[in-house]
Amino acid sequence: MSAAAQATAKNFANLLSTSKSIKKFKKKIPPVEAITHIVDSGKSALPAELANRLDFIVIYDNKTKARMAEASENMFQKLYEKSTNEIDKAKLTAYMHYAMFFIKAPVVIAIAQKTPFEANLSDMLNTMEICANVYGIEIYELTAQLNAHRDFADILKLEKPAQVLTIFSAGFPEYK
């Protein structure tokens, strides 16, 4: 990578790490009841037929989160290696830093589809976010990692053809 591209990547990474879009969580783990209520609110925002086709997987285990982060990092590395443009490589390098913050989240919620379907999940996502805010918890949807969905399916031991649709990091926010 050229010196200019490295400087651009470093500046972008610094911007991301100081931006309010980068979330940092307190180490305190949210109560199980709160997480259960958040998940249940998401399910109740969906038609029953659709809710039955989804699995909500709550992940507290740091080893599982680390394996998911490693799969995400590998996915970013593959994209980096395929890139022929220095600007794209710089963006990928910087974004990988941002995308890994979920590993430090006290809770990660993965939503998996048991069988393929097309549906708009925005009502579910909004309802979960509102419910989380009631408890002082913030959830952040993470989509860049989903290119690693096959690895996530293996890590979470999902039965084929199930795959992860989206993941959320969840926790009590730490404000600077």
The 10s digit of each residue's pLDDT in 125-142 is 899 999 999 999 999 887
Cα(99)–Cα(95) distance, rounded to whole angstroms? 6
Instruction: Tell the CATH topology of 3-171.
Output: NADH Oxidase (3.40.109)
Task: Please give the C-alpha separations between residue 83 and each of 6, 87, 98, in angstroms, as whole numbers.
Answer: 15, 9, 19
**Average pLDDT for 132-153:** 81
Name which of 3-7, 80-84, 93-97 the model is least confident about.
3-7
Which amino acid is present at 20? K
| Domain boundaries along the sequence of the chain | 3-171
pLDDT at residue 28 is higher than 90: yes
pLDDT at residue 20 is higher than 50: no
Q: What is the pLDDT of residue 168?
A: 87
Question: Is residue 95 within 8 Å of 76, Cβ to Cβ?
Answer: yes
Structure tokens at 123: 């009502």
pTM, to two decimals: 0.78
pLDDT at residue 46 is higher than 70: yes
Largest CA distance in the chain: 54
Residue for token digits 């998996």? 112
pLDDT at residue 91 is higher than 80: no
Higher pLDDT, 153 or 7: 153
**Average pLDDT for 2-11:** 52
pLDDT at residue 102 is higher than 90: no
